[in-house]
Structure 1
Amino acid sequence: MRRADRLFQIVQLIRGRRLTTADYLAQRLEVSMRTVYRDIAALGQQGVPIEGEAGVGYRMRAGFDLPPLMFSKQEAQALVATVRMAESRLDAALARQAENALSKILAVLPLDARAAAESLALYAPLPALDPQTSAHLTAMREATE
């Protein structure tokens, strides 16, 4: 993994969690903790507001955000596969929402990534939910909204 990619991954991992340890980052990125420490220092020098405390972990200061980035071809295919597999296990309303979300994502992808994602001919082999189970799932989902 290129260093620039690793730095971006560090930011993504830290901002996606409340506290993130250097050990966790090292394991996820398959680098040494020393490399993580250097990368965190480099991000700080570039103005990324990462706060850290020895033995506790790192977190992003409130208000920091990165602009959205595009998905790679493989990430787009993974999204399509995930939605296709999930659709057969969701109640009808939530399955429609998953399909709507996927359509929005596909609409903004670059043409090559969209073509790669749409070419993934995966349809989940799992049997559809029976109507009673689907009704129970709908009731549980609606109760938590």
Structure 2
Amino acid sequence: MPRAERLFDLLQILRRHRQPVSGASLAGELGVSLRTLYRDIAALQRLGAEVDGEPGVGYVLRPGFLLPPLMFAEEEMEAVMLGIRWVAERGDPRLAAAARDARARIGAVLPAELRDRIGTPSLLIGPESAGSADTVDLALLRDALRRERKLALVYRDQSGAETERTVWPVALGFFDRMRMLVAWCELRDGFRHFRTDRMVSATVTDQRPPRRRAALLTAWRESEGIRCMDC
């Protein structure tokens, strides 16, 4: 069993016990030697877990410790790093930079064996297909989504005709060739999908939509027959 996965399991065992549990009991449940168990306890303490106790007495985990990113299982870490690499290569400049920073931050605290593996990944991102460039700063759209604010758009349709829209942002979809904003359009009185490469301008207003974004997302999914955004 990889060490990162074993440390995760050790934390889960300690969480189940409110009273000190002996090192021998912990080692037996994990299937490791006492010496390995003591090293793993020390590793958790270095990571910030407040594990009280000592050999021959028993160990107990104080409440409140949150799992850092390195405590994912191997396949979970592979999934996380694949997603980060995709965003680093396909996201807009600010989102790509954030992905690279996140990758560096996670790599800095990983155990050596996992750090080596993410440095030489076996899951790769294929070449990007040619697509149209975004004509607005996607950071503005993300800001409107986070703060739940209406957007004032000037939008150009496929034929080149421009319209002014006030929309309630719901979600931002990232596709291989383009990005698309899902929003409720006040002009059309319904959900619409706006390609970011056809936005002439986008301005975040101070107005909140009359419905929360979570409710809008649920309504949009139902209108499209979508059970899960990630499916």
Q: TM-score, normalised by structure 2?
A: 0.32
Tell me which protein shows more strand as a share of its residues: 2
Q: TM-score, normalised by structure 1?
A: 0.47
Tell me which protein shows more helix as a share of its residues: 1
Higher relative contact order (CA 8 A, sep 6+): 1
